[in-house]
Structure 1
């Protein structure tokens, strides 16, 4: 049975964050708030946890398009190839924010993602998510618990999320009501930015 931990986004309690980080380090799965929908995440370095998330999603791990949730731009550069000036300007202008950026991966990618040419990177504008990643010391691999077919209530209400997921994950963070719109996905791996999915983030800046 998962723990249900209340954390206030205005001033995340360091002790509560540390509890969740311990769970992540031990290979646990965590549902946490972002600036869009709630996410399901684990430590990027834990193979067993990555495999668990892939199983939950019903996909093979090497085929999974998970996002890497990073703390800041320097965190991103650990996993992607040299960022060109134009791309860097876009990232700097948009992050933290409700975007997933697809960028060419580098050789530091965990072995499970080595075959991938590109990775999706997120720096959400949510202090709980950013603090988790900062304390963990490396990115969280994440996928949304968003239901593509119907805008159902459980995607936004932490108590309903807990009801649905309590026997599947190790922690559900109650960080207040989430959004029911996913992030905007922008592919920056080609010559021009390409909008893959329009979500919460405005595409006007591209």
Structure 2
């Protein structure tokens, strides 16, 4: 049965955040709200967590997983960003964007795209997620919580606990979340390619 953490959206309780991060460090899988919609997350080295996300979402090996990063310093450890790309990303973060970029050797191969050696990366504009990332001290391996039998992501923490009670280890609830996933921009070839139009404005990438 999943733990349920009712967290204040502006002043998240340190104890609850600490308990959620403790679960992550014990190879747990959590469902948590972001600045776009709910996501599934686990530690970067959690191979079992990665497989559990694939199973819940019925994903194949070509899916781009996302590194949820605290800031640019952290993002720069895990993806290659040249000066031109840096400026474009800097102007759009923190925010509801996922950027597809070449992965560094710090990223486990199993979470890279098998042919392109790329990975998704983003810096969220959400107080609860930032609190999680501060406490964890490393990126969260994440994927949008979009269940295969639904057209839109679930928005309520209690509903997610009800649906995923036996397949995740914790659900963090900080109020109703959005239904629109991030905008995905592929920078792996240097020039921006809009892969998915979502919550973030695409104007500067067109």
Q: Provide TM-score, normalisation by structure 1.
A: 0.91
State the match for 1:197 in structure 2: 196
Cα deviation, residue 149, structure 1: 7.1
The whole-number CA distance in structure 2 between the counterparts of 1:200 and 1:148 is 20
Question: Considering only aligned residues, what root-mean-square deviation do their CA atoms show, in Å?
Answer: 1.8
Name 2:136's counterpart in structure 1.
136
Asked if the contact 1:146/1:182 (under 8 Å) is kept, the reply is no
Q: Write out aligned runs for 1:154-193 (5 A).
A: 155-193=154-192
Residue in 2 that maps onto 1:75: 74
- 1:51: Cα distance to partner? 2.0
Q: Give the match for residue 102 of structure 2.
A: 104
Q: Is the CA contact 1:151–1:180 (under 8 Å) kept in the aligned structure 2?
A: no
Distance 2:2 2:168 in 1: 6
Q: Which moved more, 1:154-163 or 1:96-105?
A: 154-163
Distance in structure 2 (CA, Å) of the matches to 1:72 and 1:191? 21
| Aligned twin of 1:86 | 84
Alignment of 1:48-63 (within 5 A): 48-60=48-60, 62-63=61-62
Q: Which residue of 2 aligns with 1:125?
A: 125
Q: Does the CA-based 8 Å contact 2:27-2:43 persist in structure 1?
A: yes
For residue 94 of structure 1, give the secondary structure of its aligned residue in structure 2.
coil
**SS of equivalent residue, structure 1 residue 134:** helix
1:39 is the counterpart of 2:14: no
Question: Unaligned stretches of 5+ in structure 2?
Answer: none
Instruction: Provide the rounded CA distance (Å) in 2 between the counterparts of 1:198 and 1:185.
Output: 7
Q: CA deviation at 1:64?
A: 3.5
**Counterpart contact for 2:65–2:111, Cα < 8 Å:** no
TM-score by length of 2: 0.91
Tell me if structure 1 keeps the 8 A contact 2:57–2:147.
no
The answer as to whether partners of 1:146 and 1:180 remain within 8 angstroms in 2 is no
Task: Give CA deviations for 1:29-62 in whole Å, capped at 9, x if unaligned.
Answer: 10000001100111111222222222222345x4
